[in-house]
Amino acid sequence: MTISNFWAEVTLVESQTLVLVPHPLNDPTEFGSLQDLFCISRREGYLGGLRLLQATCKKFYQFCSKRGIALTKQNFTLKYDTNIPRQVGLAGSSAIVSATLKCLMKFYNITDNDLPKPIRANFILSVETDELFITAGLQDRVVQVYEGLVYMDFSKKLMDEQGYGNYASMDMSNLPPFWLAYLSDPSDSGRIHSNIRQRWLSGASSSLTLCV
């Protein structure tokens, strides 16, 4: 399910040239001192959100070209903001990609018929895995596309036959309250996830515990 407390926002406005605006915190290029550089790099890492905007734009153009979708020759300026905590497994990277894709679709009048929701989730995943080599799965991308509470069936037969699972929106009105806990100074979630696919392919099992 999506969590309304945390968000990623991407703003797109038409401009003469195509501009990707760095985020002042997540994409710093200027520091007050070497100590500031150390502290910011330790907390935020080396790779900010600008690469996510660029990879999404590249993949979007590639997708439309392959599908024969003509894009108007308009340029734009993209900038982003987010309050999603980093490196705690709350899908901050894919949220920025999802928001960027929504902006591009609206700007170029791409409809759900051109890019249906199940394919959109696959697209967002491919931006991260194919372009940026981020270890990721479909769950976060599906729920960001559908929003709310979503049932997902990723059975091998479905994935082999149609290329995506079965997804259904569910009623959230009867859900109990949830507590969400995370570390303020976490390790790199990508490193933790890096061998999960290999473990799954080798037959290992894993579990997720939710405390209500």
Average pLDDT for 110-129 = 96
Q: Express each pLDDT in 53-84 by its tens digit.
A: 999 999 999 999 999 999 999 999 999 999 99
At residue 167, the 3 state secondary structure works out as strand
The pLDDT assigned to 87 comes to 78
Bigger pLDDT: 25 vs 119: 119
CA gyration radius for the chain?
18
Closest among 54, 57, 50 to 71, alpha carbons compared: 57
Options 81, 112, 140, 185, the catalytic residue: 140
Question: Is the model's pLDDT at 2 over the cut of 70?
Answer: yes
Is 140 considered catalytic here?
A: yes
Q: Express each pLDDT in 103-118 by its tens digit.
A: 999 999 999 999 999 9
- Token pair listed for 107: 């700007």
Question: Is the model's pLDDT at 141 over the cut of 70?
Answer: yes
pTM score, two decimals? Answer: 0.85
CATH of domain 8-148+176-201: 3.30.230
Question: Is the model's pLDDT at 208 over the cut of 60?
Answer: no
Distance, in Å, from the CA atom of 55 to the CA atom of 52, rounded to the nearest integer, reads 5
Question: What residues does each domain of the chain span?
Answer: 8-148+176-201
Q: Express each pLDDT in 165-191 by its tens digit.
A: 999 999 998 889 888 888 877 655 555
Q: Give whole-number Cα distances, 107 to 10, 48, 120, 171, in Å.
A: 12, 24, 16, 31
Lowest mean pLDDT among 82-96, 149-163, 172-186, 194-208: 194-208
Question: Is the model's pLDDT at 17 over the cut of 50?
Answer: yes
Distance, in Å, from the CA atom of 126 to the CA atom of 120, rounded to the nearest integer, reads 10
Sign of the Cα torsion 155, 158, 161, 167 reads negative
Q: Express each pLDDT in 29-62 by its tens digit.
A: 888 999 988 888 877 777 789 999 999 999 999 9
Sign of the Cα torsion 99, 104, 110, 113 reads negative
The pLDDT assigned to 191 comes to 56
The pLDDT assigned to 50 comes to 93
